[in-house]
Amino acid sequence: MSENRRKVALITGAGRGIGKATALVLASKGFDIAVHDIDGTTAAETASLIRQSGVDAESFAADVSNRDAMGAVVSAVEARFGAIDALVNNAGIASDRCPLEQVTEAMFQRSIGVHVAGTLWTTQAAIIGMKQRNAGSIVNLSSIQALVGWSEGATYNAAKGALIALSKGWAKEFAPWNIRVNVVAPGHTETEMTVRNDSAELRAAKAKTIPLGRYARPEEMGEAIAFLASDAASFVTGQVLSPNGGFVIT
């Protein structure tokens, strides 16, 4: 394989929002892109947009909580592109937003299934090739909710907190193979999900609690993710980067 080839990034949940923005940012920084989403239509749209910029991209549709399905996606990506240099585990669903007494087993299983199991199954499949090449970067998407806690968000808090612990363990486990594992924990970001779940008035009120006075743009999260995925962060592993406009300052 040529050492001059473009690197390849697999991004889950890249049909929209932060995942889509990350795909576009990484494409602009020298990566070919494997675009995954549970929605094949939005994944194909993102891949098409990337190809229009002259970068190679392909779309893949599967439910991240399905181990066999994600194993098949990783195999298809490797067959198509040859290697996965960067894995961005971005796929996620909205918080439950209800009192603890109202949390159902289905809500818990779905949140853990998408965020935690989805990240685990995808990484489990991709790590084999990364170990063979003694190289790779994994970026897992947590949330500011894992850092500060969120009222009436039990299953989301649990899932996003688990990803931080999982990532720190993997950073130590995979370091002998020169594989880095880091976390991005986004603060309030203006995505389709936030617009759908929060009114303009609520978003404006939340923005006032952020020292920089606004929500992030998805592209700003994409830049943070791209940094950790790239060789610019070659000595960074086991870390949590939270672009949050100063909402959390420690």
- Taking phi first (over 0 means left), then psi (-120 to 50 degrees means alpha), and beta for anything else, what does residue 186 get? beta
* Cα torsion 112, 115, 116, 119: sign: positive
* Partners of 136 in the β-ladder: 179
Q: Which two tokens stand for residue 19?
A: 């995942």
The answer to whether 215 is a known catalytic residue is no
Q: CA 142 to CA 140: how far, in whole Å?
A: 6
Q: CA 236 to CA 58: how far, in whole Å?
A: 29
Q: CA 215 to CA 244: how far, in whole Å?
A: 8
| Strand intervals (E) in the chain | 7-11, 31-37, 57-61, 86-89, 136-141, 179-184, 240-241
105, 55 Cβ separation under 8 angstroms = no
Q: Which of 156, 170, 174, 215 is catalytic?
A: 156
Q: CA 150 to CA 156: how far, in whole Å?
A: 9
Q: Which residues are designated catalytic? A: 156
